[in-house]
Amino acid sequence: MLKIFKTLKLVILISILLIPLSIFAAVMQSSSYKIQSDSLNIGGGFSTSSNYRQESTVGEVGTGFSSSTNYRLSAGYQALQTNYISVSNTVNISLPNISGISGGSVQAQSDWIVVTDDPAGYQLSIVASTTPALKSTSTSASITDYAPAGAAPDFLFSVGAASSTFGFSPHGSDVISRYRNNGSACNTGSTDTTDRCWDGMSTSPKTIALGTTNNQPNGATTSVKYQVGIGSNKIQEAGTYQASVTVTAVAL
């Protein structure tokens, strides 16, 4: 029986939870202490109640916003306490067609560059809008979310002869231990390898990368490989399939 599988299209939606802009002055530190930011003023401090906590500054000079073509400055002690985070990404990607009678697999990749001045770093997570994530745009047909054999991601992508499945694999300098490997298994060891450690999409967010320091100005890139596999005995309905995936970067 002839199998024809047409275009797979992924729509990637970027969600950034914190985007205040700020420029930090010099940080003073010693072997035991670090002053992230200081100010010259005549008063201020913390006020608290059962529900709120407020930090105030009195008599500070040289505050407010200034901007130019390439920069934006938030001057003042309180402005310095906000953290900056940004994400750059190509939003829409398409996978190649799969066609013929023998099945096969195709891949596509999206890259996110996260830049933050937060001393504690950032967290990057991914979540699908539906279960399964990859569905036909015109019928009720779908492709099953990838299911690893155990609690950890599968070291190699695997699809049964009578199955079709859609999975992802992240890699980059900040990818978490779940997606690292020891050369044969995932969630163990420290190696980050492209096309290894395959996981399935979920409607619950999955953390894929974690940075623990300020990484400006260059930031850190996390790449996500998407793969669709169709087994040699699987009859997958022809058509266009689409997944909506949200990636969220949060300053810690």
CA atoms of 29 and 32, how far apart (whole Å): 8
User: Is residue 149 classed as helix, strand or coil in its secondary structure?
Assistant: coil
Q: What per-residue confidence (pLDDT) applies to 86? A: 84
Task: Please say whether the beta carbons of 234 and 167 come within 8 A.
Answer: no
Lowest mean pLDDT among 12-26, 33-47, 114-128: 12-26
Beta-strand relationship, 241-251 and 142-145: unpaired
Mean pLDDT of 131-157: 94
Mean pLDDT of 109-117: 90
**φ, ψ of residue 178 in degrees (nearest 5):** -55, -30
CA atoms of 99 and 22, how far apart (whole Å): 51
Q: What per-residue confidence (pLDDT) applies to 180? A: 98
**The whole model's pTM is what?**
0.72
Higher pLDDT, 136 or 74: 136
Q: What per-residue confidence (pLDDT) applies to 237? A: 85
Q: What per-residue confidence (pLDDT) applies to 166? A: 94
Percent above pLDDT 90 for the chain: 41
**φ, ψ of residue 179 in degrees (nearest 5):** -105, 15
pLDDT, tens digit (0-9, with 9 covering 90-100), for 212-222: 998 988 899 99
pLDDT, tens digit (0-9, with 9 covering 90-100), for 56-99: 677 666 676 677 776 666 676 666 555 678 888 666 788 888 76
The residue count for the chain: 252
Nearest to 122 by CA among 74, 172, 53: 172
Binning pLDDT at 50, 70 and 90, where does residue 119 land?
A: confident
Q: What per-residue confidence (pLDDT) applies to 46? A: 66
Q: What per-residue confidence (pLDDT) applies to 45? A: 67
Residue 23 pLDDT greater than 50, yes or no: no
Beta-strand relationship, 85-88 and 104-116: antiparallel
Residue 126 pLDDT greater than 80, yes or no: yes
Q: What per-residue confidence (pLDDT) applies to 18? A: 35
H-run or E-run covering 108: strand 104-116
CA atoms of 1 and 233, how far apart (whole Å): 9
Start-to-end Cα distance in the chain: 53
Nearest to 159 by CA among 107, 212, 104, 197: 104
Mean pLDDT of 173-202: 97
